Amino acid sequence: MTPRGIRANLPQFALLVGINALVGALVGQERSLIPLLAEHEFGLASGLATSLFLVTFGLAKAPSNLVAGLLAERFGPRRVLITGWLVGLPVPFMLMWAPTWGWVIAANLLLGVNQGLTWSTTVLMKIQLAGDHERGRAVGLNEFAGYAAVGLSAFGSGLLAERYGIRPEPFLLGVLVVVAGTALSSMIVRDTHRITNLRPHLAIGGLFRDRHLLTCARTGLVNNANDAFVWALLPLLLATADLSTTQIAAVAATYPVVWGVLQLVTGPLSDRIGRRVPIGVGMMLQAAALVSFAIDARVGPALVAAAVLGIGTALAYPALIAAAADGAPEHRRPSAIGFFRMWRDAGYVIGALVFGSVADLWGLPAAAAVAAGVTAAAGVDASLNLRLKHSSERLTAPTISP
């Protein structure tokens, strides 16, 4: 059997870190470009209408996470990873040449499938390579690469848009990313399914009976619901404070860059102290940042709030993924992670619909305030109900029936 551990599998682990950076870069450019594309090129002024691209993204990504886990158990994660990149190939071209908003919606449908399949499999493969005692570190490195790339891509796309216009030039970055991801995954990545001797267990009823996994899923859903606000509506809120396109891109980039970089620390931290405290504290910091956006959207306070939001998300995000994996027996870990990620990413749909509707009824600051309240409530729920382990404890959790 292939030895476990990050150091023992460093070349392949590092390659997967790089590939997940490409996964993040593909979606990152949308964080600064799509809301502006909706307003400036398609004339969409409604918060709910603007958020529909994110609803489509979430509707596609959420079930794709579960499908990725189930297929990885049967066919191995490498095939799922390659399929995800192939689905994503048309996305930058569709956004570059979209004649109507419907094309943008369709592109985000494909992007959601791409992100669900590729991101789920990269994190799964790293967990399989790392083994039990470095699970938080493996997740932290994976999410660091992905979200640092999200932020850098968002900022770079904003700079390109400031210089050349919203399209087509900024989307050429997406073309390079998706071609590189497809090539590396097809030609260099090795499969990891032999490491864990995965068996095809496709029954999912047990996933719905695991209270620990369901608590992780609830908390993750709220985390991504507030991310939906930041993605779809925060650029519009910042525009009301007369921020330039570059300033909006800087705020949009600060959040995922801080989030991504700090996961190098917070992932291993959750291995040492357990998952509960990082998750609870992280959700509360997110809530505080969202309140700040509601109160003051000028560039200085917005940059500080984006950094605080990134710190909070860095604490909660890798700990939640690792917690979902902690509670599953090894042969069910792909489907457990896929189940968690499915409900977590359903937050994009719920957040876009709820906060977009609140923005239309009572304004963008009210939407930020509601997002803050829901996030704080989720932090309390997680602190009270998560049944979390330290990575040093023996994993004896057959709570998810095969």
The CATH code of the domain that includes 187 is 1.20.1250.20
Tens of pLDDT, residue by residue over 207-226, are 777 788 899 999 999 999 99
Whether residue 394 lies inside any domain: the answer is no
Question: What's the pLDDT score for residue 394?
Answer: 33
Residue 393: inside a domain: no
Of 258, 52, 245, 93, nearest to 157 by C-alpha is: 245
- Give the span between the Cα atoms of 219 and 191, in whole angstroms: 31
**Placement of tokens 């984006």 in the chain:** 306
The pLDDT score that the predictor gives to residue 399 is 38
- Taken as a whole, the chain contains a residue count of 402
Alpha-carbon dihedral angle through residues 105, 106, 111, 112, given to the nearest 10 degrees: 70
Q: How many CB atoms lie within 10 A of CB 402?
A: 12
The per-residue pLDDT for 102 is 86
Q: What pLDDT is recorded for position 194?
A: 59
Give one word for 44, left, alpha or beta, with left for phi > 0 and alpha for psi -120 to 50.
beta
Question: What does the pLDDT read at residue 179?
Answer: 96
Identify the domain containing residue 269 by its residue range.
Answer: 12-193+209-385
Residue 139, in any domain of the structure? yes
The helices-and-strands tally (H runs, E runs) of the chain is: 15, 0
Please give the tally of structural domains in the chain.
Answer: 1
Angle, alpha carbons 28-21-171 (nearest 5°): 40
The answer to whether residues 190 and 77 touch, using CB atoms and an 8 Å cutoff, is no
204 located within any domain: no
* 203 in any annotated domain: no
Are 333 and 325 spatial neighbours (Cβ–Cβ below 8 Å)? yes
366: in domain: yes
In this predicted structure, what is the pLDDT of residue 46? 60
Residue 378 scores a pLDDT above 80: yes
User: What's the confidence (pLDDT) of residue 122?
Assistant: 93
> Which of 229-238, 272-281, 359-368 has the lowest average pLDDT?
229-238
Supply 356's token pair: 């977009």
401 vs 78, higher pLDDT: 78
Residue 199 lies in a domain: no
pLDDT of residue 400 exceeding 70: no
Token pair of 214 as six digits? 């369901």
d(CA 320, CA 389): 12
pLDDT at position 148 is 82
pTM of the model: 0.79
Average pLDDT over residues 64-79: 89
Distance in angstroms (rounded) separating the CA atoms of residues 249 and 154: 6
- Given a cut of 90, whether residue 168 has pLDDT beyond it is no
Query: Which pLDDT band holds residue 393 (cuts at 50, 70, 90)?
Result: very low
Q: What is residue 357's predicted lDDT score, i.e. its pLDDT?
A: 92
Q: What percent of the chain has pLDDT over 70?
A: 90
pLDDT, average across residues 160-188: 90
Task: Read off the pLDDT of each residue in 267-275 and give the average, rounded to a whole number.
Answer: 90
Query: Is 396 a residue whose pLDDT tops 50?
Result: no
174 assigned to some structural domain: yes
Instruction: Name residues whose C-beta falls within 8 Å of residue 51's C-beta, 6 or more positions apart in sequence.
Output: 228, 232, 233, 352, 353, 355, 356
pLDDT at 154: 82
* Highest-pLDDT range among 71-75, 377-381, 388-392: 377-381
pLDDT in tens, 98-117: 898 889 889 989 999 999 99
Mind giving me the DSSP string for 208-255?
GG-HHHHHHHHHHHHHHHHHHIIIIIHHHHHHHTT--HHHHHHHHHHH
